[in-house]
Structure 1
Amino acid sequence: MLATSHIEGEKFYTKYIKIVVVSLVSLLVICTNIMNIIGWSRVRHIAMATRAFLINLSVSDLCVGIIACAPSSYPAWTGRWPYGDIWCQISGIVHGSSVTVSIWSISLVSIDRFCAVTWPMRYNTMVTRCRCAMIIAGLWLCASVSFLAPCLTKEDFIYYRFKTEYSMCGLYWEYDIYCAITGFYIPIL
């Protein structure tokens, strides 16, 4: 009897710690990225393209916080996904797309700075506001299509599943080929 109550006590504290960690991480991700967006929007002494890519990075991370992390607080406590299959698909697509765009945004900051240093006289004609907007839109479109694609292979469009160990819906890799393709092209692109 004592061993059973000890195990139940451990499960309760593990669950409590998990809910606190998930909630705290969600809150920090959301708050810090809102501050980043506001801060980068007000800074004027940094190149427009660099600022746009850094704001895009914060927006993509904010999407992860709002769509994927914050809703996971309740499942961290209950061990089940209460929001239904449609929200699970939205969460999976947005989470995957946002993380991908986040990776690409960091790369774009490096590429932008490389262009500024390598071609300082041509930089302002090469890197325009319109080109930056098209690149950012293209990144979001490419990432969204990439993470929507597996849903289109299912008759009921339900691909992403809830994982108890992550307390999240998404991060699901049913197709090895899909995993290999995205694992290959996301870092290279």
Structure 2
Amino acid sequence: MVLEGENWTNTSNIGHDQHDQVDMTYQTLLICKAVAVSFTAILGIVINITCLIVLRRMREMNPVTRVFMTSMTVADLGTVVFIASPVIPSTILDRWPFGDAFCTLCSMFNVNFFFASFMCLLNVNLERFLAVSYPFAYPLLVTVNRARMTAVALWFCSIAFSVFCSYMPGREIYFSKTMHTCLTGPLNHDETDIFGTAAFLLFVIIPFVTTLCLFLRLYLVARYHARQIAAQQTGHNTESRKAKAERKTFMTFFIMTMVLSIGYTPLVASTVYENITRISFPAYLVYLAEIMGFANCFMNAIIYYFRNSKFRREARKVLGVLIPLLNAGNEIESLTVGSSGGSTASSTQTVRHR
């Protein structure tokens, strides 16, 4: 298995003291990265599982939006479970400890969940665009069954593409020393990764640009509706509430898109730069970009919590049920530990007496 990335330990041309200093700096960076990724993974697992429960319980939510939001949450949860979590021990050990088979799976997960996140967000925004731009045709164009079929097709294409990337002729699976995860790349590591760059263009850059175009169109539609409302006299209050709801929904998904772009842009930029030039960014910059990408996996749920009152109300109910269960579990554990401790003390006294 090929090891790539910034090699901090290649210090044959420096003195002994400088060698120790560089090694200490490198170990400190590894510890900081492991702690940050661990914290991010725990938050991502808890928040996304809670989000899935809330989406399941929300009956007032648009069912089509719920399908696409659930698909996006599954992609975020898969990222923190199958990509971020293995990065923690590989960062601590500074090597891949899980074997070649799981390395192959992990490379597929990197392609699958990363591209699925962008495509799921594009689906959510496209659904909102159709709802606002074509309100009368929307019920006929967008149905729950079609939304489910679209989500299934998206995941099928994403999985098929990840398998293709891993077993495509002329490419191999390798362990990245900077990202501490398994990726796919060309057999010749000095060769420009045209295929990887094209994949980023097709599944990341184009969906993001398309989403921005949708937001621009939604902004123009919102302005047009505002002018119509101002010219109407009857039903003004009802239409105003509807316009406010549309504007709030528009801003919610706009914030989600901007947060996703901010979170993933450094990682995408460093990866595309390395694919084209075959020159790696400094390790600490890659660490920061990777942590920002992982942190983005639970930001959608947090944004939706603060922007949607129905989601927030249902989330509080779910948390109100889970927290007492956790407290009850802690009390039971304390009682168990206490009783076992008492039994141990009694047995110890018996042994001493004997």
Question: Which TM bucket (shorter chain)?
Answer: 0.7 to 0.9
SS in 1 for 2:173: coil
Distance 1:186 1:12, change over 3 A: closer
SS at match of 2:172: coil
The one-letter code sitting in structure 1 at the alignment partner of 2:141 is M
**Structure 1 residue 134: Cα displacement:** 1.1
**Cross-structure match for 1:103:** 118
Partner of 2:310: none
Equivalences for residues 164-183 of structure 1 within 5 A: 164-170=177-183, 172-174=184-186, 176-183=193-200
Give 1:153 shift: 2.7
Answer whether contact 1:33 1:61 (CA < 8 A) is retained. Answer: yes
Runs of 4+ in structure 1 displaced over 6 angstroms?
A: none
Gaps of at least 5 residues in structure 1 are none
Residue 145 of structure 2 corresponds to residue 130 of structure 1: yes
Query: Structure 2, unaligned stretches of length 5 or more?
Result: 1-15, 187-191, 208-354
What TM-score results when the alignment is normalised by the length of structure 2?
Answer: 0.49
Match of 1:186 among 185, 203, 206: 203
Instruction: Indicate if the aligned counterparts of 1:22 and 1:76 stay in contact, CA closer than 8 A.
Output: no
Q: 1:7 to 1:138 in 2, by over 3 A?
A: same
Answering whether residue 117 of structure 2 is matched by residue 89 of structure 1, we say: no
Alignment partners' CA distance in 1, 2:19 and 2:176: 26
Aligned residue in 2 for 1:10: 25
Question: Aligned pair 1:74/2:89, yes or no?
Answer: yes
Matched pairs, number: 186
1:49 to 56, 61, 64: 64
Aligned partner of 1:62 in structure 2 is: 77
Give me the identity figure in percent.
Answer: 24
Q: Distance in 2 between matches of 1:112 and 1:145?
A: 24
Q: Structure 2 matches for 1:119-158, cutoff 5 A?
A: 119-154=134-169
2 CA distance for matches of 1:181 and 1:7? 37
The residue matched to 1:121 in structure 2 has which SS?
Answer: coil
* 1:33 to 2:45 alignment: no
The letter of the residue matching 2:185 is W
Residues 108, 166 of structure 2: 8 Å contact kept: no
Aligned to 1:113: 128
Q: Residue 161 of structure 1 aligns to a residue in which SS?
A: strand
1:55 CA displacement: 0.9
Q: Is the 8 A contact 1:63 1:95 kept in 2?
A: no
**Alignment TM-score, normalising by the size of structure 1:** 0.87
**Matched letter for residue 181 of structure 1:** A
Greater shift in the superposed pair: 85-94 or 37-46: 37-46
Partner SS state of residue 59, structure 2 = coil
Residue 102 of structure 1 and its aligned partner are, at CA, apart by 0.8
Offset at residue 125 of structure 1 (A)? 2.4
Q: Which range moved further: 4-13 or 88-97?
A: 4-13
Please tell me the residue identity of whatever aligns with 2:50: M
Match of 1:24 in 2: 39
> Looking at CA atoms only, which structure, 1 or 2, has the larger radius of gyration?
2
CA deviation map 1:119-175 (0-9, x unaligned): 2223222212211111111111111122211332359xx8321111111112x3327
